[in-house]
Amino acid sequence: MNTNQTDFLPVCRADMEKRGWEQLDFLLISGDAYVDHPSFAAAVIGRVLEAHGYKVGLLCQPDWRTTESFKQMGKPRLGVLITAGNLDSMLNKYTAAKKTRANDAYSPGGQAGLRPDRATIVYGSRVREIWKKIPIIIGGVEASLRRWVHYDYWANGLRRPILFDSRADILIYGMGEKAVVEIADLLAGGVAVNDINYVRGTMVMQTAEQVAAMSDLIAVPSWSAINAQKAAFASAFRLQAEQQDPFYGKRVVQEVEGQGFVLQNPPVMPLSEAEMDAIYDLPYRRTWHPMYDAAGGVPAIEEVKFSIVSHRGCFGSCSFCAIHSHQGRIIQARSHRSILAEAKLLTSLPGFKGYIHDVGGPTANFRRPACRKQLTAGACVDRQCLVPKPCAALETDHSDYLALLRKIRKLPGIKKVFIRSGIRYDFLLRDKKKDFLHELCEFHVSGQLKVAPEHVSDKVLHLMGKPGRETYDRFRQAFAEMNRQLGKEQYLVPYFISSHPGCTLQDAVELAEYLRDIGHAPEQVQDFIPTPGSLSTAMYFSEVDPYTGRHLFVAKLLHDKAMQRALLQYRNPRNRELVREALQKANRADLIGFGKKCLIAPERGAPNHKPDNQGAYRHANKKRRASASTANPKKDAAKLTKKGAGRGQQKKGR
């Protein structure tokens, strides 16, 4: 494909001049490098505005230490749009252990350090320094999930709603295409930004007088109330979450004493199939801007370059995931025509070798609303669709998704279509036809299928919003049996989360024993990070379940988190001392020894270590070192399946 620079949105004054533009309508500032692809939010918003006739320029990863780089394309006519990028800037930079990450996949060459901490706030403050009264609209994941009083893990404290600190006028939350066009049209029509306080999918700041004049509002605990009592944070989360449906959600306010209120308007209505198609049919170049060629491009494109987004939304509602908060619980899908057109386009791209890496969304096999009611009345406020047990009204039907996959498989130039964006196996098991599991195993698994049981303790799984251990075991058996029937050697690769709120050392030991019993040594473990906007984060900070009021144990000390993580990787010799300490604290010293059920060998000279056991000691540790050295996931998965075990994990950007 020809990637002439003029095919991209303007990124500098020279690009504007080539188009004959003297002034932009909107300057769009992003913390990510510019990748013109529908999986990158800045490209989508820029292309959508362009399609509506607006002149948009992209300023990506400006030098925030000075105002000069923000001025290079001049003052825009209508306003400045700001996003931190596809990830929260703090999550992008720091690990669960609060260490700086070595790489940034959303920057040229993977270079770290090209965006500031809390990028939305920094960019907004710089713009306000330069143009005092220009309309500033913030959006994206960082703005969306920090729109209320929120807990910041890296500062280990509460922060005000991001509208206050960013000095912006409007915050767009969730998927912002409809809201940004409506705001653009109002600004272009001469409406003052201070008067745009009613657009769905937005938040604005209001005075006490303005709030007093409104009716039918939901007020959540304020800044001072939450600072005074942690449990108020849990209450605030529950009240906010109950209004996140476009059909019945009301306006919600939260006060920051002495500074004003934030007002959230109801969410945008779900996109129609035609509206979804219109967004994904736009003329994306599907690669990084040529200015990054010398750096080797932008690594993040590799995950999605040959993948297709088929739908948005998720009714799985995992507690640790904010996707249902950001995209909503109601599924919004593209047409087969639009998806097939994109699949044909992928076959013409440089580097395409016949493999489509994914066709899905937050959860691949959720391609239709959970029930018909959601399309007219919204998702239930008092229950989830799948947990603690599936709703009686849940419609389990994979026929449309299967029909789509069959059509893609038949396209010329396509050898195989994989599914990597995650399978919700409890939903799959409800499908009595079994044809989806059959075709999944026969056509759409690349030797390994990743799913996310996340834990095995039913108590912890309930808090996570995940199905119980028994459900995962049934899926392991069904997957193994289907592959046996097909004569295929394919494996499940399960992913797990350590130190989730409510998870004790005893629960972590239970998971370690399960891994021992199925013979699995996970190379990677997701250590829980309390990112803003999720139910699990509300649990983490408040130490309370927002829906029951029950007190929860939360592993907050880094050492406590390290012990839970080490238990999941007990075979790794580097974790031996942490595992030993954890087992002793959990009163499970019976798992220290040489028996088949033991996790680690005792220390030399320990009471349960006898001189005549030297050979056993060396043998046990030799076996553990060999097991821990399995760095290749395929080998690890193969070894696991030979022992009759299955595995699975979802790729869903937890």
Residues 492-537 have pLDDT tens digits of 999 999 999 999 999 999 999 999 999 999 988 899 999 999 999 9
Residues 434-456 have pLDDT tens digits of 899 999 999 999 899 999 999 99
- pLDDT (average), residues 46-63: 98
In the 8-state DSSP scheme, what is residue 30? E
* Alpha carbon 138 to its chain's center: 19
pLDDT at 640 over 60: no
| 3-class SS of residue 69 | helix
Whole-prediction pTM: 0.90
User: What's the pLDDT score for residue 648?
Assistant: 30
**Mean per-residue pLDDT of the chain:** 91
pLDDT band at 6 (very low <50, low <70, confident <90, very high): low
Q: Beta-carbon neighbour count of residue 344 at 10 Å?
A: 14
User: What's the pLDDT score for residue 608?
Assistant: 59
Provide CB contacts within 8 A for 233, sequence distance 6+. 149, 151, 158, 221, 226, 538, 541, 542
Q: Beta-carbon neighbour count of residue 385 at 10 Å?
A: 22
Q: At what angle do helices 535-542 and 231-241 cross, to 10 degrees?
A: 160
User: What's the pLDDT score for residue 436?
Assistant: 97
Q: Which helix (H) or strand (E) holds 262?
A: strand 260-264
pLDDT band at 606 (very low <50, low <70, confident <90, very high): low
94 vs 347: CA distance, rounded Å: 37
pLDDT band at 313 (very low <50, low <70, confident <90, very high): very high
Domains along the chain with CATH numbers:
5-196 (3.40.50.280), 202-267 (no CATH), 306-446 (3.30.750.210), 449-457+479-654 (no CATH)
User: What's the pLDDT score for residue 369?
Assistant: 95
Provide CB contacts within 8 A for 248, sequence distance 6+. 377, 378, 381
Of 301, 285, 244, nearest in space to 267 by CA: 244
Q: Are 275 and 407 in contact (CB under 8 A)?
A: no
- pLDDT (average), residues 298-305: 96
- Measured at the alpha carbon of residue 511, what is the angle toward residues 361 and 630, in degrees to the nearest 5? 80
Transcribe 182-231 into DSSP letters: HHHHHHHTT--GGG----TTEEEEE-HHHHHT--SEEE---HHHHHH-TH
Residue type, 116: P
Alpha helix positions (H), 435-496: 435-443, 458-464, 469-486
Residues 143-197 have pLDDT tens digits of 999 999 999 999 999 999 999 999 999 999 999 999 999 999 999 999 999 999 9
What percent of the chain stands above pLDDT 70? 91
- pLDDT (average), residues 210-235: 96
User: What's the pLDDT score for residue 604?
Assistant: 73
User: What's the pLDDT score for residue 627?
Assistant: 46
pLDDT at 429 over 80: yes
